[in-house]
Amino acid sequence: MTPAAPTPAYRRLSVEERRSQLLTSALSLFAHRAPEEVSLDDVAEAAGVSRPLVYRYFPGGKQQLYEAALRSAADELRHCFDEPREGPLLPRLSRALDRYLAFVDQHDAGFSALLQGGSVVETSRTTAIVDGVRRAAAEHIVSHLEVTTPGPRLRMTIRMWITAVEASSLIWLDEDKQPPAEDLRDWLVEQFVAMLSVTARRDPQTDALVLALAEDV
């Protein structure tokens, strides 16, 4: 992500446009540096505006800006999961993973900082935002699998896989984005099926799903 070009002074932005411009600048900075290393001055400079203007939009300072940027990134991330409910299931999962990995690629260090925790700007509110995205991912998967009442074993398997996806994307960023995103994506889809298959041995609901997946071409 390249920082937004400075806005010429004569161009007047609406409140919403300005807010969104500041969030974009902030996100592009968080993508390359840990949140604690980004100052409001940096955000003002990247957006080509004055520091007081940044404060006018985010009177709570960096914490408020960070949370707003995080919320906007979380919304973007949720959109990665939008996938029409048609066609075979595993290709749907592959397409959602492609969008997710493109998001991880783009947000890079900011994504790591967020998920790894221990940041000075991390609070129970930021943790709740991230958990909300995890829950949304799990709900999407359940709804694509067309399960109305997922049992505890199926839910545990899906949540474990989502955590495993997160962990693998952090490692992927650490390892200079190797293997290539498409390889990682295929491997994650295969892990999904393998994890479900283990659960299927103990859980009839998951067993039925695994059978359906095998027939769903």
Which residue ranges make up the site for a copy of itself (CB under 8 A)?
116-120, 122-128, 152-153, 155-156, 159-161, 163-164, 166-168, 171-172, 175, 178-179, 183, 187, 190-191, 194-195, 197-199, 201-202
Considering the complex, what minimum distance in angstroms separates the CB of residue 62 from a copy of itself?
17
What lies within 8 Å, CB to CB, of 106 at 6+ separation is 1, 31
Q: In terms of CB distance, is 72 or 191 closer to a copy of itself?
A: 191
Other beta carbons within 10 angstroms of residue 75's beta carbon come to 11
Q: What is d(CA 175, CA 12) in angstroms, rounded to the nearest whole number? A: 43
Q: In terms of CB distance, is 36 or 216 closer to a copy of itself?
A: 36
Q: In terms of CB distance, is 28 or 126 closer to a copy of itself?
A: 126
Q: What is d(CA 202, CA 149) in angstroms, rounded to the nearest whole number? A: 17
Q: In terms of CB distance, is 58 or 192 closer to a copy of itself?
A: 192
Q: What is d(CA 151, CA 74) in angstroms, rounded to the nearest whole number? A: 27
Q: Smallest Cα–Cα separation from 210: which of 162, 94, 198? A: 198
Q: Is the dihedral of CA 175, 177, 180, 186 positive or negative?
A: positive
Considering the complex, what minimum distance in angstroms separates the CB of residue 90 from a copy of itself?
14
Considering the complex, what minimum distance in angstroms separates the CB of residue 168 from a copy of itself?
5
| CB-based contact 61:139 (threshold 8 Å) | no
Q: In terms of CB distance, is 75 or 131 closer to a copy of itself?
A: 131
Q: In terms of CB distance, is 82 or 131 closer to a copy of itself?
A: 131
Between the alpha carbon of residue 113 and those of residues 73, 110, 125, 136, 175, the distances in Å are: 13, 5, 15, 21, 15
Helix (H, G, I), strand (E, B) or coil at 25: helix
Q: What is d(CA 177, CA 108) in angstroms, rounded to the nearest whole number? A: 10
Considering the complex, what minimum distance in angstroms separates the CB of residue 3 from a copy of itself?
26
Considering the complex, what minimum distance in angstroms separates the CB of residue 115 from a copy of itself?
9
Considering the complex, what minimum distance in angstroms separates the CB of residue 171 from a copy of itself?
5
